[in-house]
Amino acid sequence: MSQLERTIVQTQKVRLSTPDQPFRFECGRELRHLEVAFETYGRLNAAADNAVYVVHALTGSAHAAFYNSPEEDRPGWWDGLIGPGKALDPDRYFIVCANLLGSCYGTTGPSSINPETGDIYGMDFPPITTRDMVKAQKLLLDYLGVKRLRLVLGGSLGGMITWQWLVDYPEFVEAAIPIAGTVQGSPWMIALNEVARQAIFNDPAWQDGWYRGQGPSAGLALARMIAMISYRSDRQFWQRFGRARVKPEPEHQLEFDNWFQIESYLHYQGHKLVKRFDARTYIYLTEAMDLHDVARGYSCLEEALDRIQAEVLVIGIDSDVLYYPHELKATVRTLQKLGKKAQYAEISSIYGHDAFLVEYEQLNHLVREFLEGRPRCAS
């Protein structure tokens, strides 16, 4: 697409709490100045029943589709699914995506400036949960005049937050597609998050979270490198990198500093994140993932899931080694036992967890079929 044909969208901002009406976190603490960055595509119809809420993942932003400027390198992170002729078509739906509470792309988070002190919130920012995130998103939708969501969907942390939507505002959601995301953070995911956090904590530049400026670059890069492995699969690494070296000549075969290309790739990915992300947000959002448990406050998981009124399509990825399909399938079985309209579908991919950002042909097909109401068998 030439730059002339590009659709340009602007990220907007709205203040959702004030000192008079503070935002109350699940932990009981309050935020007097909550600002949320968001984008919308399409228009809310007169019946206000065509809204789709898109939830981004750990390092994502409100910029889900199109371009923010004619010069931008690449479109929004889910542009493959959102756009004219795609499953989420702005000609048909009013699509909303907001930067998560606690993130660093325009929504208030630990690295934002507290207007009352003129300094960052830092580690004094309250612990955030997926319940808090959904609450902030609901405030935004109220502000936008959305009465009910036709669909809420997202992958990874976005999938987890989608589940939280279903339990927290059951009457507000008509349909949902949690993709590669669970109803509770698994100990496996918690383990991977903890080693990533520890990589940041071990960096002397972390300074207990009170750094200003650059911060723990080496630690954040390593956190990303660790996470990147869990986002992919052994087969994808074989296919893309194999045992290729940066210096292929035979005389370099035994040199430690002659990286394998997979090593070079991981370092590249690590440094790329450092340029665009904040370490404090990484800590807060991974903690939110760990704390994620739709059953918190209920006597059991079934009681929480029994609140769901929406029709749910759970999408798993066959090669996902972070949110294994067997966990998602178990949730679908529970929902079906509870008499809910729940189906499971699986993306076939070598890309592992990241398939939800790659396999657009399958994703468009599944989302479109689901929205058009075609029956599907649960596996």
Q: Tell me the catalytic residues.
A: 156, 320, 353
Residue 300 contacts a copy of itself per CB under 8 A: no
The length of the chain is 379
The binder of a copy of itself chosen from 7, 68, 114, 186 (CB under 8 A): 186
**# residues contacting a copy of itself (CB under 8 A):** 49
Residue 118 contacts a copy of itself per CB under 8 A: no
* Closest CA relative to residue 367, chosen from 153, 102, 55: 153
Residue 254 contacts a copy of itself per CB under 8 A: yes
Residue 371 contacts a copy of itself per CB under 8 A: no
State in angstroms the smallest separation of the CB of 310 from a copy of itself.
25
Residue 294 contacts a copy of itself per CB under 8 A: no
* Closest CA relative to residue 147, chosen from 44, 245, 249: 44
Q: Rounded distance, CA 183 to CA 304, Å? A: 10
Q: Of residues 25-84, which lie at the interface with a copy of itself (CB under 8 A)?
A: 26-27
Q: Of residues 338-367, which lie at the interface with a copy of itself (CB under 8 A)?
A: none
Is the Cβ of residue 99 or residue 129 nearer to a copy of itself in the bound state?
129
Q: Rounded distance, CA 274 to CA 271, Å? A: 5
Per CB under 8 A, which region of 57-65, 102-110, 162-170, 249-257 contacts a copy of itself?
249-257
Q: Rounded distance, CA 103 to CA 112, Å? A: 9
Is the Cβ of residue 73 or residue 256 nearer to a copy of itself in the bound state?
256
- 120 and 102 Cβ atoms separated by less than 8 Å: no
Beta-bridge partner residues of 23: 31
Any idea what the Cα angle at residue 163 is, between residues 98 and 137, rounded to 5°? 25
Residue 318 contacts a copy of itself per CB under 8 A: no
State in angstroms the smallest separation of the CB of 74 from a copy of itself.
25
Specify the DSSP class assigned to residue 378: -
> Would you state the structure tokens that stand for residue 316, as one six-digit string?
């798993």
> Would you state the structure tokens that stand for residue 183, as one six-digit string?
């109803």
State in angstroms the smallest separation of the CB of 294 from a copy of itself.
12
Q: Rounded distance, CA 98 to CA 246, Å? A: 40
- 317 and 347 Cβ atoms separated by less than 8 Å: yes
Q: Which run of H or E residues covers position 113?
A: strand 113-114
State in angstroms the smallest separation of the CB of 286 from a copy of itself.
10
Residue 263 contacts a copy of itself per CB under 8 A: yes
- 121 and 114 Cβ atoms separated by less than 8 Å: yes
Residue 301 contacts a copy of itself per CB under 8 A: no
Q: Return residues touching a copy of itself (CB under 8 A).
A: 26-27, 127, 129, 184-188, 190-192, 194-195, 198-199, 202-204, 218-219, 222, 225-226, 229, 233-234, 237-238, 241-243, 253-256, 260-263, 266, 287, 290-291, 293, 296, 321, 324, 327
